[in-house]
Amino acid sequence: MSDGSWLGLDIGTRRIGVAIARADVRIPTPLTTLENNDETITKLREVVQEHSVQKLVVGMPRGMDGQDTQQTKFTEAFIQKLQTQLSIPVVWQDEALTSQKAESELLGRKRPYAKGDVDALAATYILEDYINDHVRGSYV
């Protein structure tokens, strides 16, 4: 029996990669990519309801030396919007190099892929990192 799901989000100015993991199984997979526009929060709310999402894990970008960047500020503002618009916990996870790792994996498959595929796979790595850093082995 499922305890609901968690979503991983890779926030970009144009697109948001979305990954999902059942809370009881904790194996993230790419779900979709959303356009980042005026409809984004509404679409995320629909995904949250459809998949019984209990928690959002948002990738937090930083500079290579750990410093805040323009993308950090953009993501922090987006997290604040999520916290006021959705009634589930929103946590963040360092997203260092997740997009590069995703693109490398997709290139290695030697099949065509879209930019949205990179975003959704990066969201999967963000969620996987959160699970590995905070949850793996825990039964809470």
* Residue 113 amino acid letter: Y
For the segment(s) 5-135, the CATH number from 3.30.1440.10, 2.60.120.620, 3.30.420.140, 3.30.930.10 is 3.30.420.140
Residues in contact with 90: Cβ distance below 8 Å, sequence separation at least 6, in sequence order: 55, 56, 58, 79, 82, 83
pTM for the complete prediction? 0.85
Q: What is the pLDDT along the chain (140 residues), one digit of tens a residue?
A: 357 899 999 999 999 999 999 988 889 999 999 999 999 999 999 999 999 999 999 999 887 787 888 989 999 999 999 999 998 999 999 887 677 778 787 777 878 777 877 788 899 999 999 998 887 655 44
Sheet containing strand 15-22, edge to edge, reads: 29-35, 15-22, 5-11, 53-60, 90-94
Domain boundaries, given as residue ranges, for the chain:
5-135
CB 84 within 8 A of CB 56: no
